[in-house]
Amino acid sequence: MESRERIKRTLNLQVPDRVPRLEIGFWDETVERWRKEGLPERVTYQSPFLTSYGECVTKEYKMQDTFEDYFGLDRIALIDYDGTMRFKEEVLEETEEYKIYTLRDGLTNKAFKNKTSTPLQIDRKIKSKEDWDKYKCRLIANKDRIKEETIELCRILKDKDIFTIIRPEEPCQYALYLIGEEDCLIYMATDPDYIEEFIAYFTEFQLNMLEVIIGEGIRLDALWYFSDLCYKNGMLFSPAFYRERIMKYHKKIFSFCKNNDMNVIYHCDGNIGQLLPLLVESGIDCIQPIEARAGNDVRDYKKLYGNQIAFCGNISADVLSTDKAAIEKEISEKVELAKNKGGYIFHSDHSIPPSVSLENYCYAMELVKKYGNY
């Protein structure tokens, strides 16, 4: 069974030949460490995130000498379109250590140049409802938001039968991002109609863009939202707010996906215990990465929702940084229960940090091969 069929079957809660094995993020520092520990120079880390703002970030799609080959991972590809407000991008300040720059969504960020970290947001265009009303007209769906080179890349992916995923911004996450997390959460309490109008507007823009993309003949296997609506102790806002102000828009998008033979994968860090049943009700097919550090356990969720959705992840990156006995316990116990009757994809609970040695990661892959067969 090839990767695309294996992943499709798993997301549809069918039993494949083995548990799919994915990893969508390795830190640059991790790859540097592994080179020193013996990772061959010929083996390329080809990120599955193949486009940024709809523009290809790789000149060619490699099928050999990649991490997928070396570690025995399944192959996926994530593409996007230009879903921004199309403000001007420019560097405002730059030193050897950091740079300050503007983004297409009107944000001004500061980021380190030589190490992996989350950028610091220091300014933004959307500071009030009046700003949103002024600028939202920039979010108009049209064909030029999907680049010709992306369309050609998708033809290549289809020819190679690669599981292809579209990764637009999730509407609520986009509100938190554009308005600013603290201000957005305050508005949820003081002016919830504003936030719902934002989500509704962005949902229509996104649905129109998906129609444009599908109309170009692009084959999409799944939509994958990356939306951290939780932190270590639970949701950023109440379950009632999600049910009253967000769920209807999620259902609209997820229904569109199902009608176009697309699965829905939802990424959310933090403790997802409150959010997960709401997402299940909204119609997701898979939850990822099930962050172990935040108190999530795939074994618990499998018992609660295993006949409704698939699970991707929950293998603790912290444990992968320890010893082989702990790694085997983590993988054997979680994989053997989670794979029952299908519906589980092996993945860490985070991107792979440089605390994980090459030896430990190779050992982890040996274990998932051992415990992940049907």
Domain ranges of the chain: 3-84+128-371, 88-124
Handedness of CA 169, 143, 247, 167 (dihedral sign): negative
Query: 112-157: per-residue pLDDT in tens?
Result: 988 778 899 999 999 999 999 999 999 999 999 999 999 999 999 9
**Residue spans of beta strands (DSSP E) within the chain:** 51-52, 55-56, 76-79, 90-94, 98-102, 107-112, 120-124, 163-166, 222-226, 230-231, 234-235, 263-267, 286-288, 310-312, 344-345
Residue 298 has pLDDT above 80, yes or no: yes
Compute the distance between CA of residue 302 and CA of residue 61 in angstroms, rounded to an integer: 35
Confidence category of residue 19, pLDDT binned at 50, 70, 90: very high
Q: What is the DSSP string of 295-347?
A: T--HHHHHHHHTTT-EEE--B-HHHHTS-HHHHHHHHHHHHHHHTTTS-EEB-
For a pLDDT cut of 90, what percent of the chain falls above it? 97
Query: What pLDDT does 184 receive?
Result: 97
What class is the 3-84+128-371 domain? alpha beta
Residue 60 has pLDDT above 90, yes or no: no
CB within 8 A of 287, min separation 6: which ones?
Answer: 265, 266, 268, 272, 276, 279, 301, 309, 310, 311, 312
Query: What pLDDT does 117 receive?
Result: 80
Output the average pLDDT for the chain.
96
Confidence category of residue 41, pLDDT binned at 50, 70, 90: very high
Instruction: Report whether 6 contacts 345 (CB < 8 A).
Output: no
Residue 222: strand pairing partners: 165, 263
Query: 251-297: per-residue pLDDT in tens?
Result: 999 999 999 999 999 999 999 999 999 999 999 999 999 999 999 99
Query: 173-190: per-residue pLDDT in tens?
Result: 999 999 999 999 999 999
Query: What pLDDT does 115 receive?
Result: 79
Q: Give the predicted TM-score (pTM) of the model.
A: 0.95
Instruction: Calculate mean pLDDT across residues 68-97.
Output: 96
Token pair for 55: 């523009």
Tell the residue number behind the tokens 């703002």, with chain if given.
53
How far is C-alpha 39 from the geometric centre of its chain's CA atoms? 26
Query: 200-251: per-residue pLDDT in tens?
Result: 999 999 999 999 999 999 999 999 999 999 999 999 999 999 999 999 999 9
Query: What pLDDT does 15 receive?
Result: 97
Residue 226: strand pairing partners: 267
Instruction: Calculate mean pLDDT across residues 330-349.
Output: 97
Query: What pLDDT does 21 receive?
Result: 98
Q: Which helix (H) or strand (E) holds 281?
A: helix 275-282
Query: What pLDDT does 246 receive?
Result: 98
Of 139, 309, 262, 271, nearest to 208 by C-alpha is 139
Confidence category of residue 7, pLDDT binned at 50, 70, 90: very high
